[in-house]
Amino acid sequence: MKFQSINFTCEGCGAPLRYSPMTNSLRCEFCSGTEDIPLSSETIEEYDFHKALRFLETHRAKEITKKVKCSKCAVTFKLTPYSISSNCPYCDTPAITNFVKDITPKSILPFTITDNEATRRFKKWIGSLWFAPNKLKEFVDGDRKLVGYYLPHWTYDSQTYSRYRGKRGVVYYVTVERTVIVNGRQQRVSKREARIRWTPVEGAVSNSFDDITVGASKTISHAILDNLSPWDTSRLLPFDEKYLSGFESEEYTIGLDNGFEFAKMKMDRVIRRDIKRDIGGDQQQISSVDTRHSDTTYKNALFPVWIAKFKWKDKIYNYAINGQSGEVVGERPYSVVKIIVLVGFILALLGIGFYLEEYPHLIEDIFAWNP
Ligand SMILES: [Zn+2]
Ligand SMILES: [Zn+2]
């Protein structure tokens, strides 16, 4: 399917404008002219989860190939089916296209961390890694670029009521007689020992969850994307295409229903913590939890992420920097050589220690040695 590229151009010189996290506005890279992005007065709404699921069941979105014509050099290029914006591979002019999914983002967290700041934090993080291969450090110092992505996320609100069964453990002490051997003789002594008394319990806890966020993109692994949280969703702004200009952005590839399964796992950890508190005592066991969700709502929003990919020994390592908070998360390769050198060094030290123990006069001999 062919899409017309949506573009924003500088009033002063006609060059393309890109969103600049530094000025929080559109900026022209030729004449440095800026154009403010008007703040919309629209409120950020929550949408009914079950209503949306019923709607999606009757609207199966087809995967289509997106082709977009560059507004500057007129070349037509292909985008991945879930890409919303990118830059022309020939002339680097920003290109923004239309959404094809039935649920589109209604809100966005614009980048606040600039490319330079993200690079600085990334270098600092890599520098702090022990055993990282030198190649990785060289890669960071090289001219590689971080790529800014607006990645789709789901946020969920839900009221939960969880019935549980379990056991409460209370510690008590008993005095027991024990036979011990003192100076080769058997003796009877009394000792205090801890025991736990378990009593079956059941009950219920209620929770109110607000904006549990789940990444809806497969561009980077779930482990990395989930570790980029927390996101400050109180700073969400009504969606505006202008924030996408010059950045990569995507539609969701993890559906509303699958996203909710991940959200339920996150909520479950909080529910179990609350159940343990509700059980009380010194120790707790939970044997069953039955959670009911009500008033479940969702939002689909775009969150800013700087991404770097590093290839080492045929494996791709991903790094991501939260474009709102600056937090760095990544998979780290280990340099086997560096580890072997360190292990060798430790063994050498142990060896010297062994020698000194065996031959305590060795050090004296070394110092006394006077050829
Ligand atoms: Zn200009
Ligand atoms: Zn072009």
The rounded mean pLDDT for the chain is 88
Using CB atoms within 10 Å of the CB of residue 74, give its burial: 0 to 12 exposed, 13 to 18 middle, 19+ buried.
Answer: exposed
How high is the pLDDT of residue 264? Answer: 97
Query: pLDDT above 70 covers what percent of the chain?
Result: 88
Expressed in angstroms and rounded, the spacing between residue 32 Cα and the centre of ligand 1 is 6
What is the pLDDT, as a whole number, of residue 333? 66
70 C-alpha to ligand 2 centroid (Å): 5
Q: Calculate the dihedral angle through the C-alpha atoms of 28, 33, 38, 44, rounding to the nearest 10 degrees.
A: 40
DSSP state of 11: T
Residues with CB under 5 A from ligand 1 (ion): 10, 12-13, 15, 28, 30-31, 33
Q: Name the more confident of 331 and 190.
A: 190
**Cα of 361 from ligand 2 centre, angstroms:** 78
- Which pLDDT band, with edges at 50, 70 and 90, does 310 fall under? confident
Tell me the angle at which helices 256-279 and 49-58 cross, rounded to the nearest 10 degrees: 150
Query: Could you tell me the CA-to-CA distances from 90 to 15, 72, 116, 217, 363 in Å, in that order?
Result: 16, 10, 24, 26, 70
Q: What is the whole-number distance in angstroms between the Cα of residue 116 and the centre of ligand 1?
A: 22
Whether 149 and 248 have beta carbons less than 8 Å apart is answered as yes
Residue 4 Cα to ligand 2 midpoint, Å, equals 13
Residue 36 has pLDDT above 80, yes or no: yes
Decide the pairing of beta strands 25-28 and 17-20.
antiparallel
Q: Please determine, for residue 149, whether its predicted confidence score (pLDDT) is greater than 50.
A: yes
Ligand (nearest to CA of 95): 2
Q: What is the pLDDT of residues 256-274, one digit of tens each?
A: 999 999 999 999 999 999 9
Residue 170 has pLDDT above 50, yes or no: yes
Q: What is the pLDDT of residue 347?
A: 74
pLDDT band at 371 (very low <50, low <70, confident <90, very high): very low
Å from CA of 112 to ligand 2 middle: 27
Nearest bound ligand to the CA of residue 88: 2
Share of the chain above pLDDT 90, in %: 61
Is the CB of residue 137 less than 8 Å from the CB of residue 298?
Answer: no
Q: How far away, in angstroms, is 9 Cα from ligand 2 center?
A: 14
Ligand 1 midpoint to CA 39 (Å): 22
pTM (2 decimals)?
A: 0.82
